[in-house]
Amino acid sequence: MTRELKWVALAALLCFGVVTIGAAYWAVVRADSLRERSDNARNVIAEQRIRRGAILDRDGEQLAYSEVTETGLARRVYPYPQAAAPVGYYSVTYGTAGIEAAFDAELRGDDQASAWRDLVDDLLHRAPQGSDVRSTVDLDVQLAASEAFGSHSGAVVVAHVPSGRVLAMVSQPNYDPNQLDAAWETLARDVETSPLLNRATAGQYQPGGALQTVVLAAMLAAQSDLSQQGGYVLNSEVPDVDTPVRVNGLELTCLPGTPSRPLTLAEAYLFGCPAPFARAMESGLTPGHLWERLDALGLLTSPVLSGFTTAAGSPPPLLHDETPSEELVAALTGQGDLTVTPLQMLQVIAAIANQGNAVPLHLVDAVRAPGSSEWESLELPARRPALLRADVASAVRLTMLQASAQSPYVSQARLGDLVLYGHSALAYGGPDATPYVWFAGFADVTESDQPEAVAVVVVIESEDDPALAAQVAGAALAAAVGVE
């Protein structure tokens, strides 16, 4: 029987050996493929353990932070849902948006990662700690703009010139990032109002009358000698200024309240009369010029918002000398194929405020490593291309200043004795030509030698009173410059 016992013992040991090899196979050979499986709940738990850094406003107020629950998992809290457009959201299930997406690596702490740190964290089961991110958002401006916007749909962007700091960004209808997981189905399925779409950076709007600023700049730039001719061009009377312009089945007219008297080109601009701009080709502007101007002002490409991926509106087909005149009229009145985002418009307005030079738009200016009290400034693009000639910018600026004095709409954004520059416009978008209103402008806040301004762009959907947009802009500017 001893012989048999030996065989049985050997067989048992062999089987125990097979079990050991089996354990090693799953624990070592197949470990990585099993760990990476999407249905491995450990990945979700690991993700939920990450202590994401906070997102602060420019004064250090928390716009988003992670709260550690009893189970050791982190919960993301957004004290100001009104700031959802710039801050965005973070969800284990549905991903990220806004600053949460653009600065995900910093907030997760991936930028701090090193093989050594990972090893120590892993051994000690320390939850990964992310860096704090300081945004340029000014909570006062953000809340004021959001409140003034009320229940309208649309967008507001406010930025400081020449620093390019975005002070506020509103996109309506909004969502509460605290309730995102619960409300996702409704939010994502709502194609009618698309609450998750950041209209400020990605909303594609028909520029309509708002394009007059660009066309005006193009008309001025086409003058050979602006210092001599500029005043003449702007201040000479335009014949048939209030002739309605027909484009794509629409009849475009001056804004309501336009005085029935002969108007200069500057006045046509401030009253939003489309006729002089639709006839721009008759006064020396060529399709090539216009195309060049659209391109130079960044209306054909995605605007730069440091760290973010932004969207461009849809560009029109190339304009050239053979382009049919109806298409040219559509392009000149902003009712053609070109659509723009509010951020693109802000870039144009900021350049006009900044002597024609682009400003480096950005939403985040510094990052603070976990455990550190030192903010590390982020580098901004060094290149500040000139979008407009300084003399053209200055002529447009003067026209916008005139508008704030004379336009019944732009003047609604005026505050105290601050110097306001602005332009109100109507546009028609979508297949059923829904009207919406634009306001684009800036307030001069220069205190010393260095010129400073706060630029604002407002677009309100499904409204036809340009005063509404001007009022929102006024409220945002008031908060930004500290005027009651």
Partner 1 sequence: MTDRAVLRTGEFDLEDMPASPWREAALLALAGLIILVNHVALVVARDRPWTSLWPVGVWAGCAVVGHAVLNRRLPRRDPLLFPLAMFLTGWGLNLVDRLVPSYADRQTLWLVVGVAALLAVSFLPRDLRWLSRYRYTWLIGGLALLGITILIGENPSSTGPRLWLWLGFGRVYYQPSELLKIVLVVFLASFFADHQRYMRTDTIRVWRWRVPSPAFLAPVLLMWGVCMVVLVWQRDLGTATLFFVVFMFMLYLTSGQALLLVGGAVLLLAAAAAAYTQFDVVTLRVDVWADPWSTADSDAYQIVQSLMAVAAGGVFGQGIAQGQPTIIPVVHSDFAFAAVAEEWGLVGTITIVATLAVIVVRGLSIAARTRFVFRSLLASGLSMMLAVQSLLIMGGVLRIVPLTGVTLPFVSYGGSSLLTSFVIAGLLLVLSTDERMPV
Residues that bind partner 1 (CB under 8 A): 1-9, 12-13, 15-16, 18-20, 22-28, 30-32, 34-35, 37, 39-42, 45, 125
Cβ-contact 341, 203 below 8 angstroms: yes
Maximum separation of any 2 CA atoms in the chain, in Å:
123
Cβ-contact 50, 42 below 8 angstroms: no
C-beta closer to partner 1: residue 59 or 122: 122
Which residues lie closer than 8 Å to 474 by C-beta, 6 or more apart?
A: 148, 412, 413, 414, 415
C-beta closer to partner 1: residue 119 or 318: 119
Shortest Cβ 1–partner 1 spacing (Å): 6
Shortest Cβ 122–partner 1 spacing (Å): 9
Shortest Cβ 8–partner 1 spacing (Å): 6
Q: The tokens of 77 are what?
A: 């809290």
Shortest Cβ 6–partner 1 spacing (Å): 6
C-beta closer to partner 1: residue 27 or 318: 27
Shortest Cβ 470–partner 1 spacing (Å): 56
Shortest Cβ 15–partner 1 spacing (Å): 5
C-beta closer to partner 1: residue 125 or 189: 125
Cross-strand pairs, 420: 443
185, with CB counted inside 10 A (0-12, 13-18, 19+), is: exposed
C-beta closer to partner 1: residue 27 or 433: 27
C-beta closer to partner 1: residue 128 or 203: 128
DSSP 80-91: -GGGHHHH--EE
Q: State the Cα–Cα distance between residues 395 and 352, nearest whole angstrom.
A: 9
Look up residue 40 and give its amino acid.
N
Shortest Cβ 20–partner 1 spacing (Å): 5
Shortest Cβ 46–partner 1 spacing (Å): 9
Q: State the Cα–Cα distance between residues 152 and 338, nearest whole angstrom.
A: 24
Shortest Cβ 185–partner 1 spacing (Å): 20
Shortest Cβ 119–partner 1 spacing (Å): 12
C-beta closer to partner 1: residue 122 or 337: 122
Shortest Cβ 13–partner 1 spacing (Å): 6
Q: State the Cα–Cα distance between residues 243 and 277, nearest whole angstrom.
A: 11
Shortest Cβ 65–partner 1 spacing (Å): 24
Q: Is the dihedral of CA 317, 321, 325, 331 positive or negative?
A: positive
Residue among 388, 469, 477 nearest 427 (CA):
469
Backbone angles phi, psi at 288, to 5 degrees: -60, -40
C-beta closer to partner 1: residue 32 or 282: 32
Which residues lie closer than 8 Å to 5 by C-beta, 6 or more apart?
A: none
C-beta closer to partner 1: residue 20 or 186: 20
- Tokens 């930025």: give the residue: 159
DSSP 241-258: TT--EEETTEEE-PPTT-
Cross-strand pairs, 67: 75
C-beta closer to partner 1: residue 45 or 390: 45
* Cis amide bond preceding 173, omega within 30: yes
* Cis amide bond preceding 324, omega within 30: no
Rounded to whole angstroms, what are the CA distances from 341 to 231, 241, 368, 458?
A: 31, 29, 31, 11
Cross-strand pairs, 340: 205
C-beta closer to partner 1: residue 15 or 68: 15
Look up residue 364 and give its amino acid.
V
Q: State the Cα–Cα distance between residues 461 and 385, nearest whole angstrom.
A: 32
C-beta closer to partner 1: residue 16 or 232: 16
How do 132-135 and 237-238 pair as beta strands? Answer: unpaired
